[in-house]
Structure 1
Amino acid sequence: MKYLSIILFSTICFFNCTNKRNANSSDNNSEKDNWQLVWSDEFDTDGLPDTTKWNYDTRGNEYGWGNNEKQWYPVADPDNVYIRDGILTITAIKEPTFGKEYSSARLTTKGKGDWKYCKVEVRAKVPSGRGTWPAIWMLPTENNYGGWPKSGEIDIMEHVGFNPDTVFSTVHTGAFNHTIGTQVGKKIGLPTATTKFHVYTTEWNENEIKSYVDGEHYFTFTNNGEGFEAWPFDQQFHLILNLAIGGGLGGKKGIDDSKFPHHFQIDYVRVYQK
């Protein structure tokens, strides 16, 4: 049986792993824990992202998205977002764009990929350079409990260029958010975040939200039973991929303009449900 498993694994990799060579142990965990793949993008077709799966989010451009971010997010600009050789690349460029100093891209699955309770896996490599703020995160599809942060936010992975060897996962709710000093999250050291691809995973059910890097669990947020102010995570959420420049978090130590352009690379996105 051991040798049969090795042969089977090798055969699968030969056909399917050209750009997915670092198959992660969490894939095996998905199978073992009865997770079923319900949505994915392997980015196998060169060009712009698949519009049956992704939207371009631009509605906060004029206001810096509430975070004083310095970029403008265009729509379907191949200079800022493209797929090539099995990799989705979001590129931030230093260039005047509609009154902003930089351009980048922000993709969402809203209306095309919305889930209540799921497991999200994203294999990605983040850029290096002070002022960058890439993120893999989720927002509610409908703000049933009110505007941000009352209806919740799940940050699967965030990274800031001034702290290159660390990534973090966070949640935001009415009761727990940075505006009132109660934000809940955790960071983990990852010295190769900017040089190698890693698998960022969040598992979310009615009781807890758990985050992992390459299968290593490092953050848990638990439903304390005190209602939607503490736990608004009983609604459908959608996925967001973006590369911000500057802002309240990313720009804390300024922006190094000598490092542009910056590239946030995503190998795949996979969503599972039980």
Structure 2
Amino acid sequence: MKFRSVFTVYFFTALAFFACTEKPSKIIDSYIYLQNDGRSKDQWKLVWSDEFNGPSLDTTKWTKIPKCEAAWCKHLSDDPRCFEFSDGKLHLLGINNPDTLSDPRPYLTGGIWSKGKFAYQYGKVEIRAKLESAQGAWPAIWMLAEQNKYGEYPKNGEIDIMEHLNFDSLIYQTTHSHYTLNLKQTKKPPHGGTAAFDPGVFNTFGLEWYPDKLVFTLNGKPSFSYPALKGVDSSQWPYDQPFYLLIDQQLKGSWVGDVNPEHLPVRMIIDWVRVYQ
């Protein structure tokens, strides 16, 4: 009986240990975190993060976003003057271009993405950041599909965790897809919302991503939700695949308007990024 009692104690101790150390996700290709099934009632576990405590960008996690012709990336640059590291924070700057002879663009901006280095499917992401305001400033925290599951943009979807315009005291939280952009289904269900905030302080912008809904958060509280619907075009829910993170201090565009160069430089200051599953 004594042996059986000891065995029982060890058995349940070991069982509790393995339950506590069970990993919340499986990793494929060494960087894509797929959340295990059946975790909807389990506690979140931190699986990936960056505290930005180093003197430079951790290139095992991030790449500086290159310029392109779209409005959001037209002024992006790898110029070191668009990136600052101080007090354990990353500063992404929008600046007046000091050298328009070698680069004719009037403005340069900094942005980073985790494409090819970290992506995840389902879970929670939170980014603590402070947004400086300026005419023409358009900072954004968002996500795009890592893999080409459904075809060219916008068929794979886009998740905008936070966008801020100029001097607004609100943020936009939005989803985009073939369903919303090409089929114009922006109200069934509503594809975006706004949330009031104080741009003069640090805020935590987040997303809780489930197999059947996206729950956007601000400072830990739900602010907008986008559900997966049945009985509508299947393109309504492309959010069943891994996505990567983008964080950028954008400038100018038809939505945000022109830039007032006297308001520059402007910064988005990132304290940390944390992903849970």
Q: TM-score range by the shorter chain?
A: 0.7 to 0.9
Say which of 97, 118, 138 aligns to 2:123: 118
State yes or no: 1:259 paired with 2:263: yes
5 Å matches for 1:242-257?
242-251=248-257, 254-257=258-261
Q: How many residues align?
A: 230
Say which of 57, 64, 67 aligns to 1:56: 64
Q: Distance in 1 between matches of 2:256 and 2:42?
A: 36
Aligned counterpart, 2:96: 94
Q: Distance in 2 between matches of 1:72 and 1:165?
A: 24
- Letter aligned with residue 40 of structure 1: S
For 1:117-165, what per-residue CA distance to the aligned partner results, in whole angstroms no more than 9, with x for missing partners? 1211000011211100000000001222112211000011110114x20
| Residues 126 and 230 of structure 1: CA distance in aligned 2, closer, same or farther (over 3 Å) | same
Aligned counterpart, 1:103: 108
Q: Unaligned 5+ residue runs, structure 1?
A: 1-31
Q: With structure 2 as the length reference, what TM-score do the two structures score?
A: 0.78
Q: Unaligned 5+ residue runs, structure 2?
A: 1-40
Q: 1:247 is paired with a residue of what secondary structure?
A: coil
| Residues 165 and 242 of structure 1: CA distance in aligned 2, closer, same or farther (over 3 Å) | same
Aligned counterpart, 1:184: 191
State yes or no: 1:172 paired with 2:187: no
State yes or no: 1:272 paired with 2:272: no
What percent of counterpart residues are identical?
35
**Does the aligned pair in 1 maintain the 2:67–2:77 contact within 8 Å?**
no
Aligned counterpart, 2:204: 199
Residue 41 of structure 1 deviates from its aligned partner by 0.2
**Does the aligned pair in 2 maintain the 1:124–1:199 contact within 8 Å?**
yes
Say which of 130, 135, 140 aligns to 1:130: 135
State yes or no: 1:216 paired with 2:221: yes
Aligned counterpart, 2:157: 152
Q: 1:143 is paired with a residue of what secondary structure?
A: coil
Residue 70 of structure 1 deviates from its aligned partner by 7.8
Q: Distance in 1 between matches of 2:161 and 2:42?
A: 20
* Structure number with bigger Rg: 2
